A and B are shown apart, each in its own frame.
Chain A
């Protein structure tokens, strides 16, 4: 198999992305989780830049820049500030133990590749082989949201899912139209700010960020 250089590079970065998604799934410490999130954002920027350079899609440079500012610099910075202010450096508790989570994760990846196979055969982009990885990382962050008990790690799972969606958009279609991407970025930004404010309210009210306090409203 003799793939062009850029395709190999993109595949490598995609593999890194998947690896990082698994690393986040197994990471117990909240600080490392944030760093991994920033790193994943950085890999995403790199792969977007490679796609932009090799296919001459100039609008992808802007979305790479947007991702860099928002997901590599701004959001991790906010989250560092936040956990400092909230003074929480606890280890993350998971609902299922880590090895079992890993196994479920592997099953999800296989499922994702099967799901993506019929789609990527229609794709004309040089990145089509990475669509499976994008779908896999969306599902893995979904798993992370389900298995984590702390509000902060649920939010990181949510943002990771957004990373996966962004990667899917880049690999299937070279990115969404610019106006849509700007809108999505705005929503993500506003959403994370609200999340941040929310943490303080939850902490004030429950004196903890553990979401098992948030399981009172049930059908009785």
Chain B
């Protein structure tokens, strides 16, 4: 029942806002829909944690502690982002950056995008997962090109082509997976269901599955933003509206990584080796290093944090690749804190850019004077994302590094060096933006900064103390995929 609401509310919201998205009350309606989705997801989460995994509607939907954790996170960040987007999009409208019709498109696609992500997470069918990922790409392409500036059109086109080709690889991987599964499970729908596949994973043909995983990793890895397939990501983040940058970084990348992790569990079961994990570690480490060294060359503040997302996604991919209960636990914790921190940063960055009228970092100065809340939000967010204690990112990065030192000692120097370089680059750029001499102007609508501090407070809490039920929940999920 909650499952129906979790999927139905954003879908209905997409349709309703398709008609009313340009009205005066549309931003509130958008937030209301997202709140309903979040409440439904919260109820669903409580049920799953208490009652164990469920399988509903002819086994087409499957909820266990791993995907319910992402569902809750997705619904929560989608809700807070919709709160942020209320004043943000009104200011954009006042600045004449978009027309009411585009605002309608924005609201409708925002809900549809939430729907496709939740569908990708909840479906039990590998094929439907692919369909939902492709649909998520299509909705976000429209959102990235919302301003119709030359740069945003280019970013959207690049995103479309690169992710389209990437997802075509993932479809080929899915076909190969179906091909192997059909031998064991017989033709028809059940051969693509995760639950059925997991039961027979040791009987699947290893050669075919190994090949399938390469295609799935490259395909979904494009969407995760793994180097060297990350080219679309900074452009799409920089040129789209800021709420979309927040949900792209905070949510969509996680959902794509979820697809990779599910495939990895299956393929490692079939192969009996660490092949899939090693591939993920390689791609992950490469992304961390490449992104860290590109950070210092950025001029645009949203591109800066987009590269930081690549770095963190790489770190998670690396941790999931190492496998084992502790690394998986750390990777999931990192997923949570990264989503919350990165979206909080984008909220502050969005308003800071609106105040200064530019996204170029050299022209954003003295936020602490012109608006202390934005300034402190950005400073604290940056410190959190850089892994400063006592924030949660410190805890998860520390755990990942500890496990890496035990299991893959060769990788630790690279990780440490990359984290150090990232620290120097981001801190060096954020510091003058916050403490320099002020240049900003007033905004026509008061910015919504409560979400920023709610997110940062949760991240701080997770760094100091993980509540026992949350730890238990993560432990269950880690066992499932570890």
Contacts and interface: CB of A to CB of B under 8 A. Distances in A.
A198 B172 contact: no
Interface string A129-148: 00000000010001001000
A186 B112 CA distance: 15
A5 interface: no
B270 to A, nearest CB: 13
Given A191-B138, A194-B142, A217-B158, A179 B189 contact: yes
A92 B297 CA distance: 36
Nearest to B175: A169
Q: Chain A binding site: helix, strand, loop or mixed by DSSP? A: helix
A25 B220 CA distance: 27
B145 interface: yes
B477 interface: no
B187 interface: yes
Interface in B183-234: 183, 187-189, 191-192, 205, 207-208, 211
Contact of A119 (B148, B208, B235): B208
A201 interface: yes
Nearest to A193: B138
Contacts of A162: 168
B127 A119 contact: no
A30 interface: no
B179 A191 contact: no
B430 interface: no
A4 interface: no
A219 interface: yes
Chief secondary structure at chain B's binding surface:
helix
B340 to A, nearest CB: 28
A211 B183 CA distance: 44
B23 interface: no
A187 B154 contact: no
B165 A161 contact: yes
Q: For this complex, into which size category does the number of interface residues on chain A fall?
A: 35 or more
A154 B158 CA distance: 11
A180 B128 contact: yes
B153 A205 contact: yes
Interface in B145-196: 145, 148-151, 153-158, 160-161, 164-165, 168, 171-172, 174-176, 178-180, 182-183, 187-189, 191-192
> Nearest 6 pairs between A and B by C-beta?
A180-B127, A183-B131, A214-B154, A187-B134, A177-B189, A172-B179
20 contacts: A115-B211, A119-B179, A122-B180, A158-B161, A173-B182, A176-B127, A177-B192, A183-B131, A184-B127, A184-B131, A184-B171, A187-B138, A195-B160, A205-B149, A206-B150, A211-B157, A214-B153, A214-B157, A216-B154, A217-B154
Interface of A: 115, 118-119, 122-124, 138, 142, 145, 151, 154, 158, 161-162, 165, 168-169, 172-174, 176-180, 183-184, 186-187, 190-191, 194-195, 198, 201-202, 205-206, 211, 213-217, 219-220
Given A122-B183, A173-B175, 9 more contacts: A122-B179, A158-B168, A172-B176, A176-B178, A177-B125, A180-B131, A184-B131, A198-B157, A211-B157
